[in-house]
Amino acid sequence: MTVKDYETGVTPNWCPGCGNFGLWQALKQAVAELGLDPGEIVIVAGIGCHGHINNFTQVSSFEGLHGRPIPLATGIKSANHDLKVIVSTGDGDCLGEGGNHFIHASRRNHDITVLIHNNASYSLTTGQSSPTSPAGYKSKSTPYGKTEEALNPLALALSAGATFVSRGFVGDVPHLTDLMKAAIQHPGFAVVDILQPCVVFNKEFTFEYYRQRVYKLERTSTERSLALKEVLARNDKIGLGIFYQSKEPSYEEKVQLTKQKALVNQPLKNYNWRKLSNEFY
């Protein structure tokens, strides 16, 4: 497989310089290096600039309601375990409207990969502050500065039970590609928080801002408490890499109905659908 095998031929309409271009390139490179057939992959997106990735990527895809890509993804994975299910979601989509879904999918350890396009703003709707915007951040929705502290997606994922927790940066596509490959191959709930600058509406978290602060982690922790300590460390540096990874049974492996055979591979019995439907009238 080559990168071109995953392109629809539709020209991306993201703003020139948008961090989504690097993210898109890393994703295509990752699945190509893994040798995945486009028919093996499903991308589920929410609402936001990140959702446009479905238009440019030649795989099966579904764009759901704002904040709802994770429950859609878990349903798809439950129906067909053989698919590589990837959630493309934004910091607002995933951690604002969809925060409850993120928490419960983490604790259940669904075997899906969640790519958070984190630009610390609601950029599709012209730059309002999001859950990951820091306190004091000024935007159209917070003209005097945001009151509350920023939500830390990695700390949330760790405390909720995710078994693969990582952070990447679109300014380093080769490193981000490797993170995505590891996340997709991980048998459980995998989170990649991706620092993805919005060059139009967020003038604070720029490419240069991140390049001056990011560093590569030296190791991956297998102890949740140690990983959480590193994620919560307050300093001027931002770690990139896999903070935590552990092998635990996924949700799909534990559900008795589907652990041996996915729903799509189970035969339909001779149900009396009319009788069943009449129960609801």
DSSP 23-88: HHHHHHHHHHHTT--GGGEEEEE-SSGGGGHHHHB-SEEEE-STT-HHHHHHHHHHH-TTSEEEEE
Work out the average pLDDT over 275-279.
83
pLDDT at 269 over 90: no
Structure confidence at residue 122 (pLDDT): 92
| pLDDT above 80 for 209 | yes
Rounded mean pLDDT, 28-55: 96
Q: What is the pLDDT of residue 87?
A: 98
Domain 3-278 has CATH 3.40.50.970: yes
Is 0.85 surpassed by the pTM of this model? Answer: yes
Q: What is residue 269's DSSP assignment?
A: P
Average pLDDT of the chain is 94
Cβ neighbors of 199 (< 8 A, separation 6 or more) are 15, 16, 17, 18, 19, 206, 207
Query: How many Å is the Cα radius of gyration of the chain?
Result: 19
Q: What is the pLDDT of residue 63?
A: 92
Closest CA to 64 of 90, 31, 26, 100: 90
User: What is the rounded average pLDDT of the residues 263-273?
Assistant: 79
Grouping H, G, I as helix, E, B as strand and the rest as coil, residue 246 is coil
Average pLDDT for residues 90-119, to the nearest whole number? 96
pLDDT band (50, 70, 90) for residue 107: very high
CA distance 242 to 187: 15
What per-residue string of b and e applies to 74-89 under the rule 16 or more CB within 10 Å gives b? Answer: bebbbeebebbbbbbb
Average pLDDT over residues 68-74: 96
Q: Which of 58, 60, 83 lies closest to 8, judged by CA?
A: 58
What is the pLDDT averaged over residues 43-66?
Answer: 94
pLDDT of residue 248: 96
pLDDT of residue 212: 96
Mean pLDDT computed over 11-15 = 94
> What pLDDT does 270 receive?
72
Is the distance from CB of 250 to CB of 107 less than 8 angstroms?
no
Cβ–Cβ contacts within 10 Å for residue 215, how many? Answer: 10
Lowest mean pLDDT among 128-137, 171-180, 239-248: 128-137
Bigger pLDDT: 262 vs 107: 107
